Structure 1
Amino acid sequence: MAKGLCGFPSTTKDTTDDFMHRYYGVVQNQRTFADSWRINDTMVNEQLFFQIPIFLTENFKVTEINQTPPLTLDHFCVCGKKETNPLSLDDLNTAQCQLTSTTDYCVESSATIDSRLPTESLNCLASGRIRKRSVSSKSFNRRSIESDDGLEFHPLTYDDDVYSENLTAPAAFKNSWTEENATNTCRESIQNALPSHIYSEYVELSEDEFVESCVLDIMATGDTTYIVDTIDAMATIILVELSRNEYIHIKNMTEGNQTVLDYITGFLCPNNCNDNGNCVSGVCACYKGYMGDSCAEQTSSPPSDTSLPNDGLCSISTKSCITTNVYGNFQSTTVWYKKRSFQITENGTVYTSGNETATAEYRHLFMVTVPLKISRRKRSTESMHSPEGYEISLSNDGSNFGESFNMIVYDENCFTCNSTSVTCVALERCKQSNKDDNNKIYVTIGVALGVVLAIILIVLVVIIYRVKHTKSLKRINAEKEEKNGRQSMFEKLENHADENRSRTPVELFKVK
Structure 2
Amino acid sequence: MKRKHEYSEKSDPTEERKWIPTWPTPSGITETQANDECVRQIRNSTVGKSCSSVLDDSEVDEHIDACVIDIQVFDDLSQAKLSRDLMIAQCEEVLTKNSTFWEESSGSDGTVGPPRSILGAICPSDCSGNGNCVDGTCTCSEGFGGTDCSTNLNEAPQIYRSGLKGLCDSSEENCADYVSIYGDNFVESDILTCHVTSVEISDSDFTIGDSTETVAATYATYEEVRCPLEVSSRRRRDANGAPRPIGALVSISNDGTLESAQVLAIIYDANCDVCNGTHGFCSRRTDICIVDGECYELDDPACDKGSKIWIIVGAVLGSVFAIVVVVIIVIVVCVKKKGKKKARVGSADRLE
Q: Same fold (TM over 0.5)?
A: yes
Deviation of the 1:380 alpha carbon: 8.0
Deviation of the 1:432 alpha carbon: 11
Deviates more, 1:168-177 or 1:231-240: 168-177
Q: Deviations over 1:60-100 (max 9, x none)?
A: xxxxxxxxxxxxxxxxxxxxxxxxxxxxxxxxxxxxxxxxx
Task: Name 1:217's counterpart in structure 2.
Answer: 70
Q: Deviations over 1:347-390 (max 9, x none)?
A: 85356784332223333333333333547627488775432222
Question: How far, CA to CA, are the matches of 2:256 and 2:286 in structure 1?
Answer: 44
Task: Name 1:208's counterpart in structure 2.
Answer: 61
The AA in structure 1 aligned to 2:283 is: V
Task: Name 2:255's counterpart in structure 1.
Answer: 397
Deviation of the 1:222 alpha carbon: 1.9
Task: Name 2:246's counterpart in structure 1.
Answer: 388
Q: Deviations over 1:113-157 (max 9, x none)?
A: xxxxxxxxxxxxxxxxxxxxxxxxxxxxxxxxxxxxxxxxxxxxx
Alignment of 1:71-150 (within 5 A): none
Relative distance call for 1:214 and 1:371 in structure 2 (3 A) is same
Q: TM-score, normalised by structure 2?
A: 0.61
Deviation of the 1:313 alpha carbon: 1.9
Relative distance call for 1:342 and 1:380 in structure 2 (3 A) is farther
Relative distance call for 1:399 and 1:450 in structure 2 (3 A) is farther
Contact 1:352 1:379 in 2 (8 A): no
Question: How far, CA to CA, are the matches of 1:277 and 1:319 in structure 2?
Answer: 39
The AA in structure 2 aligned to 1:208 is: D
What is the Cα-based RMSD across aligned positions, in Å?
4.5
Q: Does 1:294 align with 2:294?
A: no
Task: Name 2:164's counterpart in structure 1.
Answer: 310
Task: Name 1:337's counterpart in structure 2.
Answer: 194
Q: TM-score, normalised by structure 1?
A: 0.44
Task: Name 1:186's counterpart in structure 2.
Answer: 38
Task: Name 2:179's counterpart in structure 1.
Answer: 324
Deviation of the 1:291 alpha carbon: 0.9
Deviation of the 1:267 alpha carbon: 4.8
Question: How far, CA to CA, are the matches of 1:315 and 1:410 in structure 2?
Answer: 5
Contact 2:186 2:221 in 1 (8 A): no
Relative distance call for 1:264 and 1:347 in structure 2 (3 A) is closer
Deviation of the 1:217 alpha carbon: 0.6
Relative distance call for 1:419 and 1:329 in structure 2 (3 A) is same
Question: How far, CA to CA, are the matches of 1:291 and 1:229 in structure 2?
Answer: 20
- Counterpart secondary structure, 2:196: strand
Task: Name 1:371's counterpart in structure 2.
Answer: 228
Deviation of the 1:230 alpha carbon: 0.7
Deviation of the 1:422 alpha carbon: 1.3
Question: How far, CA to CA, are the matches of 1:264 and 1:198 in structure 2?
Answer: 6
Task: Name 2:87's counterpart in structure 1.
Answer: 234
Q: Specify every segment of 5 or more residues in structure 1 that has no aligned partner in the other structure, as ranges.
A: 1-167, 253-258, 455-512
The AA in structure 2 aligned to 1:409 is: I
Contact 2:63 2:87 in 1 (8 A): yes
Alignment of 1:458-497 (within 5 A): none
Q: Deviations over 1:279-329 (max 9, x none)?
A: 123431225652124323233433324322320123345445323323333
- Counterpart secondary structure, 2:234: coil
Question: How far, CA to CA, are the matches of 1:443 and 1:242 in structure 2?
Answer: 79
Task: Name 2:274's counterpart in structure 1.
Answer: 416
Q: Deviations over 1:26-80 (max 9, x none)?
A: xxxxxxxxxxxxxxxxxxxxxxxxxxxxxxxxxxxxxxxxxxxxxxxxxxxxxxx
Question: How far, CA to CA, are the matches of 1:401 and 1:295 in structure 2?
Answer: 19
Relative distance call for 1:184 and 1:379 in structure 2 (3 A) is closer
Relative distance call for 1:225 and 1:247 in structure 2 (3 A) is closer
The AA in structure 2 aligned to 1:333 is: E
Deviation of the 1:211 alpha carbon: 1.3
Q: Deviations over 1:405-450 (max 9, x none)?
A: 112223445543222221223444469999x99xx98995996799
Contact 2:159 2:263 in 1 (8 A): no
Q: Does 1:406 align with 2:264?
A: yes
Deviation of the 1:204 alpha carbon: 3.5
Relative distance call for 1:184 and 1:370 in structure 2 (3 A) is closer
Question: How far, CA to CA, are the matches of 1:225 and 1:313 in structure 2?
Answer: 35
Question: How far, CA to CA, are the matches of 1:357 and 1:449 in structure 2?
Answer: 54
User: Which structure has more RCO (C-alpha within 8 Å, separation ≥ 6)?
Assistant: 2
- Counterpart secondary structure, 2:227: strand
Quick one: which of 244, 250, 266 aligns to 2:104?
250
Question: How far, CA to CA, are the matches of 1:235 and 1:424 in structure 2?
Answer: 51
Deviation of the 1:346 alpha carbon: 5.4
Contact 2:127 2:148 in 1 (8 A): yes
Contact 1:353 1:378 in 2 (8 A): no
Question: How far, CA to CA, are the matches of 1:387 and 1:249 in structure 2?
Answer: 61
The AA in structure 2 aligned to 1:355 is: T
Alignment of 1:15-30 (within 5 A): none
Contact 1:193 1:270 in 2 (8 A): no
Deviation of the 1:184 alpha carbon: 4.5
Contact 1:235 1:268 in 2 (8 A): yes
Relative distance call for 1:388 and 1:260 in structure 2 (3 A) is closer
Relative distance call for 1:351 and 1:201 in structure 2 (3 A) is closer
Contact 2:251 2:263 in 1 (8 A): yes
The AA in structure 2 aligned to 1:299 is: L
Question: How far, CA to CA, are the matches of 1:181 and 1:351 in structure 2?
Answer: 52
Q: Specify every segment of 5 or more residues in structure 2 that has no aligned partner in the other structure, as ranges.
A: 1-17, 107-112, 296-302, 324-352
When the two structures are aligned, how many residues end up with a matched partner? Answer: 280
Alignment of 1:492-511 (within 5 A): none
Contact 1:330 1:367 in 2 (8 A): no
